[in-house]
Structure 1
Amino acid sequence: MELEQLRHLVKVAEQENFTRAAELVGLSQSALSRSVARLEEELGQPIFERQSRKVALTDAGRLLLDRARIVLTMLDDVTAEIADNGRSGKVRVAAIPTIAPYFLPECLRSFHRLFPQAQLIVLEDTTEALLKKVTDGEVDIAIGALPIGTKYVEVEPLFEEELLLVTGREHPLAAKPAVCLADIAELPFVLLGEAHCLSDNVVSFCRQHSFHPVSVERTSQLSMVQELVALGHGVSLIPDMARARDTSPARVYRSLSGPPPTRTVAMITNPYRYHSQIVRKFAEHLRGSRAAN
């Protein structure tokens, strides 16, 4: 059993397709099929069930896939540790969509100035997807918002930020001296889809204050929430970091009277993985970056 065969197994399992997997590993489909076939011969039983449009793991294949990932992860960690010089190397950082475009750019620029030889690889995805990638070792550091319920990851709060009420410029609340919860309890809300944790933060805050926001529209982009609010479709609660990047005169941002709604931005890592010096330095850089927020 060879390491390359294990890598081929993992790639085919991820893609559920020999053709796509072959393209990703730089082999012909026939060469990749032979590699997996030799592995199956050595085990004495099939790893994949060949179906019409995809391949699926057998019970033996699922067991082998788990062990293969462990072996490959250990090998990658050893290789990274041996080559670790503290100045270069990859940092695979990911963030949820309501954080990535607002918080990461300046953080990445300032880190690049300090460590120009480091290679920063950035991914944006939902919390659920990022947690899986951290657990599987595909991402070194993820940035999300509390609460984080997944086991086997380390969660470190970075900073807390206010969620601001956003209305269209012509909305009656835009000119009101102070806005309280009673003012928004019956208003239509524009929210992100349920896959986004910001919506959970908003709904949770409202429920804690004895009302449920009436969601009239949901979208997958925070920028679209802002545009719909500007068009008069409803109001919303937006992170302060997004407000800081909004230069449109069509929207007005207000703090709510009383204890404001907030979210806690956190760094998520896998404590069971080896973290290179450059990854640890990026984590420290994130801790310092919260001062700007």
Structure 2
Amino acid sequence: MSNALCYYLPCTQGIDPHAKALAMEFDQLRYFLRVAGRANFTRAAEDLAISQPALSRSIQKLEEELGQPVFQRKARSVSLTEAGVLLQSRAQQVLTIIEDTKAEITDDGQSGRVRVGAIPTIAPYFLPNLLQQFSSEFPKAHLIVQENTTDALIKSCTQNEIDLAILALPVSTKYLGVAELFEEELLLVLPPDHPLVQKSKIRLSDIEPLPFVLLGEAHCLSDNIVTFCRQRSFQPVAVERTSQLTMVQELVSLSHGVSMIPAMARILDDSNRRVYRSLSGKKPTRKIAVIWNPYRFQSRLVEAFKDRLQTYAQQSVQSISET
């Protein structure tokens, strides 16, 4: 979170001393929120790029001004006191107003930042060309990309740490805007010497007894695969789980099991160590969507990115279907 107030109250000669104090108080609020979010002074100091003693002094001064503690200190963590819970709510409101006001005043539709989040099974396959196209059209824009799991991106979007996130549905939240972008097929991936490669049609029943290689439980792609199988009355047996889609592909190549891979990832895989096949009958798919916080100010640049994103998504669907 940036120190928005410094754009209004630069420390120059002749500035009102009360304004200097006000600027320092906003820093205190920003630091307080980071410690509250991380529940740890060390990790919060690392996020803020300041020393832990400096952070501790800032929080101590804040508590002295309030006349009561905002944190309960423990050996390796902190938790909010009743006063801290109230301050957290108010501090978020105050900093939100400041950030949105600055963003609205300086919004020229051409410059500024766009903070984009995406899940790991989308980011490296879908975003690069889109980011390149957008940077060419808006050279003054500063694009920031965060790759994380669905739950973490929803939290970041809710807390305004990112402007929008690209992920797979469903999204379990009531307070975010959601727009579906496209639906893509999940393709069966097999080692090239697997007996099923020779079959003209591969049915779900053919893979039911086979071991699966899946991503870890934090990744929604595994949920998509398991849900599809359960809806057809069988539970895939995961013999191995990993944190990266490329490792899933490699383990399949080594005959550790089979898996299902998004079509966008298959397009970038030119290895002859894996074979991709489309299942016959009802095919497994996932729906890709963009989410954002409708209660926060959206700059014209962010809206432009969202518009280009939707156009690019439709082009990608056509490209995938022609492959």
Task: State TM-score, norm by structure 1.
Answer: 0.95
Describe the shift of the 1:180–1:104 C-alpha distance in structure 2 as closer, same or farther (beyond 3 A). Answer: same
The partner residue of 1:131 within 151, 154, 157 is 154
Cα offsets for 1:45-91 (capped at 9, x unmatched): 11112333333322211221122112111210110010000001000
Describe the shift of the 1:181–1:67 C-alpha distance in structure 2 as closer, same or farther (beyond 3 A). Answer: same
Are 2:118 and 1:98 aligned?
Answer: no
Question: 1:246 is matched with which residue?
Answer: 269
Percent identity at matched positions?
Answer: 60
Describe the shift of the 1:216–1:138 C-alpha distance in structure 2 as closer, same or farther (beyond 3 A). Answer: same
Are 2:35 and 1:6 aligned?
Answer: no
The partner residue of 1:197 within 210, 220, 225 is 220
Cα offsets for 1:125-154 (capped at 9, x unmatched): 000000000000001010000111112111
Q: Secondary structure at the match of 1:177?
A: coil
Are 2:63 and 1:40 aligned?
Answer: yes
Question: 2:77 is matched with which residue?
Answer: 54
Stretch moving more, 283-292 or 34-43 = 34-43
Provide structure 2 residue ranges, at least 5 long, that are not aligned to the other structure: 1-21, 318-323
Are 2:186 and 1:158 aligned?
Answer: no
Matched AA of 2:195? P
Cα offsets for 1:248-270 (capped at 9, x unmatched): 10100001111211100000100
The partner residue of 1:219 within 230, 235, 242 is 242
Query: Hey, what's the Cα distance between the residues in 2 that align with 1:255 and 1:81?
Result: 48
Task: State TM-score, norm by structure 2.
Answer: 0.86
1:215 Cα deviation after fit: 1.2
Question: 2:306 is matched with which residue?
Answer: 283
Query: Hey, what's the Cα distance between the residues in 1 that align with 2:242 and 2:47?
Result: 32
1:23 Cα deviation after fit: 5.4
Stretch moving more, 173-182 or 278-287 = 173-182
Are 2:84 and 1:84 aligned?
Answer: no
State the superposition RMSD in angstroms. 1.6
The partner residue of 2:209 within 177, 186, 190 is 186
The partner residue of 2:92 within 69, 76, 97 is 69
Question: 2:131 is matched with which residue?
Answer: 108
Provide structure 1 residue ranges, at least 5 long, that are not aligned to the other structure: none
1:29 Cα deviation after fit: 4.3
1:39 Cα deviation after fit: 2.1
Stretch moving more, 47-56 or 265-274 = 47-56
Query: Hey, what's the Cα distance between the residues in 2 that align with 1:240 and 1:23?
Result: 38
Cα offsets for 1:161-197 (capped at 9, x unmatched): 0000100000011121111111111111111111111
Cα offsets for 1:187-224 (capped at 9, x unmatched): 11111111111011101111111111111111111111
Matched AA of 2:112? G
Matched AA of 1:163? L
Query: Hey, what's the Cα distance between the residues in 2 that align with 1:234 and 1:19?
Result: 42
Query: Hey, what's the Cα distance between the residues in 1 that align with 2:47 and 2:222?
Result: 36
